[in-house]
């Protein structure tokens, strides 16, 4: 459970250590930050793309993201509900490898992960 949103059982939770391992191994994944644009510009996990959470379903379809692509979604922190909402939406659209990183960018930075932004 993230924030106050119950995750669809098809959504996988991912920890800081697991995400770091995937990024270090340069696994083929799409890391999507669904925070508001101003927060994304302030700080985001290195290599993440900005996806407006309210339009995320459409964004993934319009960008021809393959249904079996590893997708890791995150927002600000464990109380944020944007990434759980988008995660649930994507599995309903038929995406098969959806991961929800509930620690968010704050948890990533706190754990010493690489990030980008204006700070």
Q: How sure is the predictor about 1, in pLDDT bands with cuts at 50, 70 and 90?
A: very low
Read off the DSSP letter of residue 43: -
State how many domains the chain has. Answer: 1
Range of the domain at 72: 12-116
Whole-angstrom Cα distance, residue 60 to residue 36? Answer: 17
Asked whether residue 5 is assigned to any structural domain, the reply reads: no
Asked whether residue 2 is assigned to any structural domain, the reply reads: no
Q: Over the stretch 46-67, which tens digit does the pLDDT of each residue have?
A: 999 999 999 998 999 999 999 9
Between the alpha carbon of residue 21 and those of residues 26, 27, 89, 108, the distances in Å are 9, 9, 26, 13
Q: Over the stretch 91-102, which tens digit does the pLDDT of each residue have?
A: 999 999 999 999
If one counts every other C-beta atom within 10 angstroms of the C-beta of residue 45, the result is 23
Asked whether residue 3 is assigned to any structural domain, the reply reads: no
Asked whether residue 6 is assigned to any structural domain, the reply reads: no
Asked whether residue 92 is assigned to any structural domain, the reply reads: yes
Q: What is the mean pLDDT of the chain?
A: 94
Q: What is the CATH number of the domain that holds 59?
A: 3.40.250.10
Asked whether residue 39 is assigned to any structural domain, the reply reads: yes
Q: What is the mean pLDDT of residues 55-84?
A: 95
Alpha carbon 28 to chain centroid, angstroms: 14
Asked whether residue 4 is assigned to any structural domain, the reply reads: no
């Amino acid at each position: 459970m993230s924030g106050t949103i119950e995750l669809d059982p098809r959504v996988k939770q991912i920890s800081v250590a697991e995400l770091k391992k995937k990024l270090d191994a340069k696994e083929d994944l799409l890391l999507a930050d669904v925070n508001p644009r101003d927060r994304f510009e302030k700080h985001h996990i290195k290599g993440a793309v900005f996806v407006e959470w309210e339009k995320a379903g459409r964004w993934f379809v319009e960008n021809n993201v393959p249904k079996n692509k590893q997708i890791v979604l995150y927002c600000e922190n464990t109380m944020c509900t944007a990434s759980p909402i988008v995660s649930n939406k994507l599995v309903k659209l038929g995406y098969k490898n959806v991961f929800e990183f509930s620690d968010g960018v704050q948890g990533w930075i706190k754990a010493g992960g690489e990030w980008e932004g204006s700070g």
